[in-house]
Amino acid sequence: MPTSQLMTMLVFLIILVHIALVSSLNLRPGYYSETCPEAEFIVRDVMKRALMREPRSVASVMRFQFHDCFVNGCDGSMLLDDTPTMLGEKLSLSNINSLRSYEVVDEIKEALEKACPGVVSCADIIIMASRDAVALTGGPDWEVRLGRLDSLTASQEDADNIMPSPRANATTLIDLFHRFNLSVKDLVALSGSHSIGEGRCFSIMFRLYNQSGTGKPDPAINPIFREELYKRCPLDVDQNTTVELDSTPRLFDNQYFKDLVAGRGFLNSDETLFTFPLTKKFVKLYSKGQDEFFRDFVEGMLKMGDLQSGQPGEIRRNCRVVNSVADHLVVGPQNRMESNHKSI
The residues annotated as belonging to the active site are 67
Q: Please tell me the distance from the alpha carbon of residue 148 to that of residue 74, in angstroms, as a whole number.
A: 7
| Dihedral, 260, 265, 267, 269 alpha carbons, nearest 10 | 10
Distance CA 186, CA 193 (A): 11
CB-based burial, 117-146: b 16+ in 10 Å, e otherwise:
ebbbbbbbbbbbbbbbbbbbbebbebebbb
Q: Please indicate if the annotation marks 117 as binding a ligand.
A: no
* 190-191-195-201 Cα dihedral, nearest 10 degrees: 150
- Going by their DSSP bridges, the two strands 150-151 and 198-200 should be labelled as unpaired
Tell me if 73 is assigned to a ligand binding site.
yes
Determine whether the annotation assigns residue 141 to a binding site.
no
Asked whether residue 238 is marked as a ligand-binding residue, the answer is no
Direct distance between the N- and C-terminal alpha carbons of the chain, in angstroms, rounded to an integer: 40
Tell me the C-alpha distance between 332 and 158, whole Å: 26
Give kind and range of the element (H or E) at residue 314: strand 313-314
Are 245 and 194 in contact, with CB atoms under 8 Å apart? yes
Distance (Å, whole) CA 14 – CA 241: 50
Determine contact, residues 73/66, Cβ cutoff 8 Å.
Answer: no
Determine if residue 71 is labeled as part of a ligand binding site.
Answer: yes
Phi-psi region of 33 (alpha: psi -120 to 50; beta: other; left: phi over 0): alpha
Task: State yes or no: 75 annotated in a binding site.
Answer: yes
230 exposed, middle or buried (CB, 10 Å; 0-12, 13-18, 19+)?
Answer: middle
Q: Is 120 annotated among the ligand-binding residues?
A: no
253 is in an annotated binding site: yes
Q: Is 296 annotated as ligand-binding? A: no
Q: With contact defined as beta carbons under 8 Å apart, do 155 and 89 qualify?
A: yes
Burial bucket for residue 200 (CB in 10 Å: 0-12, 13-18, 19+): buried
Annotated binding-site residue numbers for substrate: 164
Annotated binding-site residue numbers for heme b: 194
Annotated binding-site residue numbers: 68, 71, 73, 75, 77, 89, 164, 194, 246, 248, 253
Annotated binding-site residue numbers for Ca(2+): 68, 71, 73, 75, 77, 89, 246, 248, 253
